[in-house]
Chain A
Amino acid sequence: MNNRQETCVQRVKVVFRNSSGKSAIESEPQSEKIRAMIHLLQKAHEDWSLYAVKHQIVMETTTLDFGIISEMLERNGFPPSDYDVQVEYERKWGML
Chain B
Amino acid sequence: MTTSPSQASPLSTEKQLPKQSRWTGFIGKEDWWTVWIGLFLVLFAVVLWAASGTIKVFTPSLSTWSDWASLRTTLSNNVWETILLFVLLLVLFTIATSFLKVKIGRFVPGFTLLFVLSLLINIFSSWKIASKYGIEAPLVALALGLVLGNVMKIPAWFDSALRTELYVKVGIILLGATLPFTLIAKAGPVAFLQATIIALITFFVIFWAARAFGLDQRFAATLGTGGSVCGVSAAIAIGSSIKTKKEHVSVTISLVVVYAVVFIFLLSFLIKALGVEAGPAGAWIGTSEFADAAGVTAASSFGDDALTSFTLMKVVGRDMFIGVWSFILAFISVTVWEKRKDGPKAGAKEIVSRFPKFVIGFFIASILLTIIMASVSDATQAVINSDVIAPVKSIRTWAFTFTFLTIGLTTRFRELTTVGWKPVAAFGAGAVINVVLGYLLSVVLFGHFWSDL
Asked whether A1 lies within 8 Å of B14 as measured between CB atoms, the reply is: no
In the complex formed, the residue of A with least CB distance to B414 is A2
Q: How far is the CA of A38 from the CA of B16 in the complex (A)?
A: 14
Contacting residues of chain B (1-40) with chain A, CB-CB under 8 angstroms = 1-3, 5, 8-9, 11-15, 17-20, 22
Q: Is B407 in contact with chain A by the CB < 8 A criterion?
A: yes
User: A5 to chain B: which residues have CB within 8 Å?
Assistant: 250, 414-417
Q: How far is the CA of A1 from the CA of B415 in the complex (A)?
A: 6
Interface size class of A (residues with CB under 8 A): 35 or more
Q: How far is the CB of B342 from chain A (nearest CB, A)?
A: 4
User: B409 to chain A: which residues have CB within 8 Å?
Assistant: 94
Q: How far is the CB of B111 from chain A (nearest CB, A)?
A: 14
Q: Is B243 in contact with chain A by the CB < 8 A criterion?
A: yes
Asked whether A42 lies within 8 Å of B239 as measured between CB atoms, the reply is: no
In the complex formed, the residue of A with least CB distance to B419 is A1
Q: Is B287 in contact with chain A by the CB < 8 A criterion?
A: no
Asked whether A51 lies within 8 Å of B18 as measured between CB atoms, the reply is: yes
Asked whether B9 lies within 8 Å of A89 as measured between CB atoms, the reply is: no
Q: Is B343 in contact with chain A by the CB < 8 A criterion?
A: yes
User: B401 to chain A: which residues have CB within 8 Å?
Assistant: none
Q: How far is the CB of A77 from chain B (nearest CB, A)?
A: 14
Asked whether A52 lies within 8 Å of B20 as measured between CB atoms, the reply is: yes
Asked whether B249 lies within 8 Å of A89 as measured between CB atoms, the reply is: yes
A-B residue pairs in contact (CB < 8 Å), sample of 10: A38-B8, A42-B8, A50-B5, A53-B20, A55-B14, A65-B246, A89-B236, A94-B162, A95-B232, A96-B410
A-B contact count (CB 8 A): 146
Q: Is A71 in contact with chain B by the CB < 8 A criterion?
A: no
User: B340 to chain A: which residues have CB within 8 Å?
Assistant: 80
Asked whether A53 lies within 8 Å of B19 as measured between CB atoms, the reply is: yes
Of A23, A80, A86, A92, which is within 8 A of B14 by CB? A23
User: A93 to chain B: which residues have CB within 8 Å?
Assistant: 159
Asked whether A6 lies within 8 Å of B246 as measured between CB atoms, the reply is: yes
Asked whether B253 lies within 8 Å of A8 as measured between CB atoms, the reply is: yes
Asked whether A50 lies within 8 Å of B8 as measured between CB atoms, the reply is: yes
Asked whether B20 lies within 8 Å of A42 as measured between CB atoms, the reply is: no
Asked whether B3 lies within 8 Å of A51 as measured between CB atoms, the reply is: yes
In the complex formed, the residue of A with least CB distance to B237 is A89
Q: How far is the CA of A42 from the CA of B350 in the complex (A)?
A: 29
Contacting residues of chain A (4-36) with chain B, CB-CB under 8 angstroms = 5-8, 10, 23-26, 35
Asked whether A96 lies within 8 Å of B293 as measured between CB atoms, the reply is: yes
In the complex formed, the residue of B with least CB distance to A84 is B344
Q: How far is the CA of A51 from the CA of B21 in the complex (A)?
A: 10
User: A80 to chain B: which residues have CB within 8 Å?
Assistant: 340, 342-344
Q: How far is the CA of A39 from the CA of B20 in the complex (A)?
A: 21
User: B17 to chain A: which residues have CB within 8 Å?
Assistant: 50-52, 57
Q: How far is the CB of A1 from chain B (nearest CB, A)?
A: 5
Contacting residues of chain B (239-277) with chain A, CB-CB under 8 angstroms = 239-240, 243, 245-247, 249-250, 253-254, 256-257, 260-261
In the complex formed, the residue of A with least CB distance to B19 is A52
User: A55 to chain B: which residues have CB within 8 Å?
Assistant: 14
- Please encode chain A, from 63 to 84, with 1 for each CB lying within 8 Å of some chain B CB and 0 for all others: 0011100000000000111001
Of A2, A10, A58, A86, which is within 8 A of B415 by CB? A2
Beyond A50-B5, A79-B342, whether A95 also contacts B14 by CB under 8 A is: no
Asked whether B343 lies within 8 Å of A6 as measured between CB atoms, the reply is: no
Q: Is B45 in contact with chain A by the CB < 8 A criterion?
A: no
- Please encode chain B, from 112 to 137, with 1 for each CB lying within 8 Å of some chain A CB and 0 for all others: 00000000000000000000000000
